[in-house]
Every structure is written in C-alpha cells, then in structure tokens.
Amino acid sequence: MTDVSLDLNPSEGGPRPYEPLAKGISPFRHSLRRFCSNRLAVISLVVLCLITLACYVAPLFFPFGPEDADFENLSAPIDFTSAHLFGTDDLGRDLLIRVLDGGQVSLGLAFFGAIVSVAISVVYGATAGYLGGRIDQLMMRAVDILLSLPYVMLVIVINVVLGRSNFSLFIAVVVALWLTPAVIARGQAVSLRHREFIEAARAGGMSNWQIIWQHIAPNSLNVVIVYSSLLVLEVISTESFLSFVGLGVQPPYASWGTLINDGAVKIETDIRLLLLPGFFLATVLFCLNYITDGLRDAFDPNER
Amino acid sequence: MWRYIFRRVLGSLPTLFALATITFFILRVAPGGPFSDNRRLTPEALAALNRAYHLDESLPQQYFRYLWNLLHFDFGPSVKYRDSTVGELILNSFPVSLEIGLWAMVFSTLIGIVLGIAGALRRNGMIDYGAGAIAMVGLAIPIFVIGPILQITFGLDLHWLPVAGWDGTLATKILPIAVLTLPNIAYVSRLMRGSMIETIRTNYVRTARAKGLGERKTIFKHALKGALLPVVAYLGPATAVTITGSIAIEQIFQIPGIGRYFITAAQDRDYSLVMGVTLFYGTIVVMGNMLSDIARGLIDPKVSYD
C-alpha cells in the first residue's frame, strides 16, 4: 500500500530505478511547498490568522464587553491613547470591541460551516461515485435538482422553516453550499473507482464502506481542499449578506453583516459604524481570495 | 435549432415542477402559519381566514389546487398584501429590477471583456495589474459596503446625485446600476483574461498568425470568438441572478423592485408570495441557463444541439 503515493503522481514513479526515489516527497507535501512559495497567498494566510486571533483573543484584554455602554464617552472620537481605541457609538459602546465580537460570529460560522459542508460533500460524493450505477444516478439527480434552485432562495426558505436563529442560519448555509463540492468529489471518486489500489483493497476483503472511508474519501480530499477555501469565502459573504438584509444573525448576537447594516442606516451621523466592520469584512474577503488562488495553483492536479 | 429550444423548454419543466413541490411541502411542514402571529384574531375569524385561503383543506388537496392554479399562471392571492394577487405584485415590481439588472449586466460585460482582453494581451503590464486590482476590489468589497460609501460621497457630500429613491429619472438610476456593475466586472474580466490567454496559445490562433494576419485581426476575428465561450456560459446564469438578486441594492437605495418581496414574504410567512417569487426566480434562472447554451451554440460550431 505504500505505493499509493507513487500511483497518484506517475511522473515520479517512472522507470528510473537509480534516481533517489526514496527521497521523493509526497504529492501533498509537494503541493504544500508550492503554496508556500506563493508570497501573496502566504501573506494573506498570515493576515487572516491575525484577524481571527484578534477577534477571539483581543476582547479578553479590555475591561468592557461589546454591549457595555460607557455613558461618560458617548460618540467618542478615534483616540489611540484612550481605552476606546476606535471610539464609541452614540450609546457609548466601544466600536472596536463590537466589530471584533461580530467577527467571532462571522468567522466562527464561516469556518465551521465550511468544514461541515466539506465533510458532508466528500462522504456523499465519494459514496455516489464509488458505488456507481443506479444509486449514483439517484444521488446525483437529487443534487442536480437542489443545485437548480436559486441558492439565496434555498437559504431563505430554510431560514423561514426552521425559525430565525443562528443555528438555522448555519443549517441553511450548509444545505445550500455542500452541493457543488459534492459534485467535484463524486467526479474524483469515479476516476478512482477502477484504479488498481482500489481493486487490491476489494480483493483483500475490505467492505464497500471501508474502501469509501479509507481510500476514496481521503483521495478526493485533495481536490476538495481547494474548494473549501472558496466555501469559507462564500459562507462569509452569504452570512453577511443575509444579516445585512435582516434574515441572518439575530439580536442579541451581531455579525459583520448586521453591524454594516446598522452602520449603513447611520452613515449621516457616524461613518465609522460602516467603515470599521466593512474594512474587516473586506480584508478577510481579500485574503480568502488570494488564499483560494494560491491553493488552486498548488493543489489542482490540472495546474501541474 | 427550434427543436433544441423546444426540447430545452420541455426539459426544464420537471425542474420547475420539483421546485414547486419542494417549496410547497417545506413551507407547510414548518410550524406556524401566516396568521399565527396575530393574537387578536378570534378562533372564528381565524377559521374563516383559513377557509378563505383554503388553508383548512388537507395537504394533498391544497397541493393539487396549487398546481392546478399554476397551470393557469395563477399564483394565488397574497396573504400580507390583501388587495393584490401574487402575480400582480411580481408584475408590478419586476420591471424595475429588470431595468437595473440588465443595464448592470450590459456595462459589466462590456467593461469586463475589454479589461480582460487588455490584460491577456499585455500580461503583467500596467493595464493587467490595474484590471486585476479592480477585480479584487469588486470581489472583496461587498456591494452593501460600496453602496453606502457611494451614497455618502456622491449624495451627501457632493450633492451630485440623489442619495436614494426611485422616480424613473436617470439620476436615481446611476448609483444602483454602478454598484451592481462593479462585482460583475470583476468576474467577467477574470474569466475573459484566463480564457483569452488559453486561446492565444491554441493551434488555430498560431495558424492565423502564420498566415500573416495582422495582430488586430487575429485577436478580434479569430481568438475572441473562442475566448468568449466561458464568458457566455457565465453570463446567462449571472444575468438571472443579477436581475432578481439585487436584494441588497434595492434595500440600500429604496428601490421598489422584486427584491424586497424575497425578504418580507419570508418574514411574514406569506406562503403564496414565497412560492410565487421562488418559482418566478427559478424560471428566470432556468431561462438564463438556456439562453447561455443557445448563444454558445451560435458562437461555437462544435457545440451541437443534440
């Protein structure tokens, strides 16, 4: 079974017995190296990590929470020497802390939503692609129908059905976004199905589920990794869009989308309310765009 | 050609039927109904209301009644807007969304294609980097951030354009269309750049050059046709989404388009309006895909209609 990695990358496993084959790196590490040599993508990853860290850790160091009103400092200006770094809103709430707290909701939902949709889609797609035949047709026809539904509509309908809460928002986003990666994973599984190492596994007595779980799914993951960073991006923009129009995150929680919505209403009085969350959201989307590009260049087998 | 169109239309019917069925049952399975929030209703009044909207019938009965009405293009009465039917609501609001969406698509397609070609022909040149920067801004800054910023700059500070509102004059249309155009420029120019770079490397373009054709003729008569294919494939679905999906734009600029019904209908549990808007949207998406495929066939002789 150790030959699997060679199988995946024939260019390394050709008939060149005297070259130092043993020191060859696995396709995954090879891709990782390619990613790390993409400076823009790496910088974006670092920035994204810093923002995430700031959202979850920085609020711990301030003596006030996102909802605490400071009546001594209503609508305080930006002043890096005071406790309120970016000032306060008209109710005396600290702007920066509110944005960082909203980031916890936005980022948490995005990463968690992307992970869950990727997990579902890989298992579903791998199962359909490996089993093939009528089951495959049935499973993919269901996906086709769901894909033909406009996905904003799907999210809205699910949100209505489950009642408006953060949990139903999460479910709605996952239901809408697992479809495309499932199609991709299925395509990968179909191409793997007749490979020798799968046949060997079957001959060795593994059950269908074991093969799907231990061989098909992990091998489809490579392609889906690329797609998952795109998913994080889609979840974040979907969530903020829904929150902006009032169907997303519900009070008392706030996300970047709801904060931007609040800010857009008050642009005449205080433009910081719009610009601060807008800046964070845009920066994160910028970073995710470059990371996605980097991952695609590094991991997509067609790009090699 | 006509046979192909006919077959595509026929083939889209099962999708729309599935869409109608799924939304119908999902909405009915959900707890609560259009009147459940209204505490002032007496039981008798509630019963009468339910009877008037046929909500007292069994589920299969309601379902077949709905399908039967759909066949007559009757989406039923709206529960929230008592005086109008769902069909009227859609017909009154859709032209506004259509106007904004179509103009935005026209501008973004033209600008995007030009930027994409310019970037592809002078890779890593000034125009390429500039177009890339515009694309990134369009992709990363959501329209609901750009919208208010433009409102401040051009409406509140410069007083060039009205901040919001809709009275059919050109002045009220400029900002919404501009905001809606920006993200699509990004998508189109990226697609165009990628496919143009690929097309320039193909054999038939090399042949055209070897024949001694001038650079301009090679690019615009030969390469452009092939390079447009992915863009055309993208345009159909994207136009459908842009026309109907300008929900945030309509909210920001207070435009009486179809977008607000997506939101209010969902919030009010206005079953017939949710169903109507969903089906309408679904039809437009299906039509967008179809038009894309047909246009691709017109450009590319390799795409057959079978």
- Residue A296 Cα to chain centre, angstroms: 14
Report pLDDT for A3: 44
Enter the pTM of the model.
0.76
Residues of A in contact with B179 (CB under 8 A): none
ipTM of the modeled complex? 0.74
- Cβ-defined contact of A274 to B149 (cutoff 8 Å): yes
User: Residue A12: is its pLDDT beyond 50?
Assistant: no
d(CA B292, CA B228): 12
Q: Chain B: residue nearest A247 by CA?
A: B263
CB pairs under 8 A between A and B: 111
B298 has a chain A CB within 8 A of its CB: no
A51 has a chain B CB within 8 A of its CB: no
Report pLDDT for A4: 44
A264 has a chain B CB within 8 A of its CB: yes
Q: Which residue in the set B31, B247, B278 is minimally distant from A245, CB to CB? A: B247
The kind and range of the H/E element at A208 are helix A208-211
User: Residue B3: is its pLDDT beyond 90?
Assistant: no
A53 has a chain B CB within 8 A of its CB: no
Report pLDDT for A5: 44
- Cβ-defined contact of B241 to A268 (cutoff 8 Å): no
- Cβ-defined contact of A247 to B27 (cutoff 8 Å): no
Render pLDDT for A64-108 as a digit per residue (tens, 0 to 9).
Answer: 777 777 777 776 677 667 767 777 777 777 788 888 888 888 898
Nearest-CA distance from B212 to chain A in Å?
32
Render pLDDT for B55-104 as a digit per residue (tens, 0 to 9).
Answer: 777 778 888 888 888 877 777 777 777 777 888 888 888 888 888 888 99
Nearest-CA distance from B221 to chain A in Å?
29
Render pLDDT for A262-294 as a digit per residue (tens, 0 to 9).
Answer: 888 777 777 788 888 888 888 998 888 888 888
Render pLDDT for A117-163 as a digit per residue (tens, 0 to 9).
Answer: 888 988 898 888 888 888 888 888 788 777 766 667 777 777 777 77
Render pLDDT for B126-156 as a digit per residue (tens, 0 to 9).
Answer: 888 888 888 888 878 888 888 888 888 888 7
More confident of the two residues B39 and A212: A212
Tokens of B54: 């046929």
Report pLDDT for A49: 93
Question: Residue A8 — very low, low, confident or very high, per pLDDT cuts 50/70/90?
Answer: very low
Please report the residues numbered 153 through 182 in chain A whose beta carbons come closer than 8 angstroms to any beta carbon of chain B.
153, 156-163
- Cβ-defined contact of A150 to B241 (cutoff 8 Å): yes
Residues of A in contact with B30 (CB under 8 A): 160-162
Candidates A245, A259, A226, A229; CA nearest to A152 is A245
Render pLDDT for A23-66 as a digit per residue (tens, 0 to 9).
Answer: 566 777 777 888 888 888 899 999 999 999 988 988 888 777 77
